[in-house]
Amino acid sequence: MFTAAVLTLSDKGSRGEREDLSGKILAEMLASISGKVETYAILPDDRKLIEDQLIYYADRIGVDVIATTGGTGVGPRDVTPDATRAVIDKEIPGMGEAMRLAGLQKTPFAMISRAVVGCRGKTLIINLPGRQMIWPAGIIDRPYRSLPLNY
């Protein structure tokens, strides 16, 4: 069993103008592989707010995995990868590349994802696009199980 946090980044979702389907699906995916979702939030696409929330989940709550959804594209408000890079200790570029490669089997839009995967201390942070159609099968299971985070 591992602990997790789900963070949805969406201006409309944070204002209640759009239902957060991707965050709910992500929480279900984590639970299906023995993840215990400790906390879940929806924030607007604001870099400082995202950075602060990632730090809080990793340093204060101490979850094993933070899975974000949304804000990974190239739009002017898509800042999730930038916020993630600002708070991680080490980036794991191969995981982001593998996610994009697997996502390309489902849709050509996967190639414009700027999703980042990295570690802050012992917490794995995984950025996922807000559109589940881009998520490859095993998107959470494979990265988490491939890291020795209990060092």
Q: What is the DSSP string of 18-83?
A: S--HHHHHHHHHHHHTTEEEEEEEEE-S-HHHHHHHHHIIIIII--SEEEEES--SSSTT--HHHH
Average pLDDT of span 124-146 = 66
> What predicted TM-score, i.e. pTM, was given to this entire model?
0.89
pLDDT digit string (tens) for 38-94? 999 999 999 999 999 999 999 999 999 999 999 999 999 999 999 999 999 999 999
Write down the mean pLDDT value for the chain. 88
